[in-house]
Structure 1
């Protein structure tokens, strides 16, 4: 038998170090899976914060009794910073100027189907639409998986009670 054959024969049936080999194979996979879970949960948390801000701004605009521009500026700040004036950022890098607020005159009844959309004594009701887009900052893991830039977009509409 050759010298190499004797070395191989000596290792047959020897289980010393098997756990180390198994750990060396599984630990990178577990770490990769954990990083993915953390990244996905951070994306989900960011989206929920954006939704909360947009909904707050839409509710504020729907009930604001001041002029449009004053209400709009306050609502934009409320969306991005959580307060009508000042406040701290809900999401890092999300600016009040990126919050779009649009009034939408809407028919109370859908003309095509005759379905009543809003209870109203008039033919039209005012609805405010608040929307935003946010470029999710890449922390590296997302791009390692081959995904491109991620943009989160949210919007919310409220029927106007004020003005």
Structure 2
């Protein structure tokens, strides 16, 4: 025990190497924080690209004047690839088949009260809903923090003008 006290007393007034010790303590924390910021920004960017694709597809479907199947195929490709034919993928691994397009009709006037719910020149209002789910590829950092697989889900609705 006395030997240990002697060693500690010898280093008490010595400040050489303090910067190295501080760096050894703070650098791992700064790197961890930086990795978290980069990973979060990548997830957020992917989510924004998915949302932009779904919104583009919904707007296209709302104004498409071709037959339903042709419009759906083009809109799915527009969502995933940024163009109605070919194009380059917006998000790696996001395929046109993962884009779901559903038409819905709403009653324009409430029959029981006669209240007009939507402005329309017919009894119904057509709305198209475009949605998708994307499994975010884990690069490992999120699993270290205890997060499981991350699935990003996006949807958008547009009132139909075309059909």
2:139 counterpart residue number: 139
1:63/1:89 Cα in 2 relative to 1: closer, same or farther (>3 Å)? same
- 4+ residue runs over 6 A deviation: 111-115
1:89 counterpart residue number: 89
2:55 counterpart residue number: 55
1:114/1:54 Cα in 2 relative to 1: closer, same or farther (>3 Å)? farther
Q: CA deviation at 1:10?
A: 1.1
Secondary structure, aligned partner of 2:153? strand
1:90/1:114 Cα in 2 relative to 1: closer, same or farther (>3 Å)? farther
Q: CA deviation at 1:7?
A: 2.2
Give distance in 2, aligned partners of 1:141 and 1:112: 56
1:122 counterpart residue number: 122
| 1:1-163 aligned within 5 A | 2-109=2-109, 116-163=116-163
Give distance in 2, aligned partners of 1:114 and 1:100: 34
More off after superposition, 121-130 vs 24-33: 121-130
Deviation string, structure 1 residues 87-128 (Cα, Å, up to 9, x no partner): 000000000000000000112245688764421122211100
Normalising by structure 2, we get a TM-score of: 0.93
Secondary structure, aligned partner of 1:59? helix
More off after superposition, 7-16 vs 28-37: 7-16
> How many matched pairs?
163
Give distance in 2, aligned partners of 1:113 and 1:92: 50
Q: CA deviation at 1:64?
A: 0.4
Normalising by structure 1, we get a TM-score of: 0.93
Structure 1, unpaired ranges of 5+: none
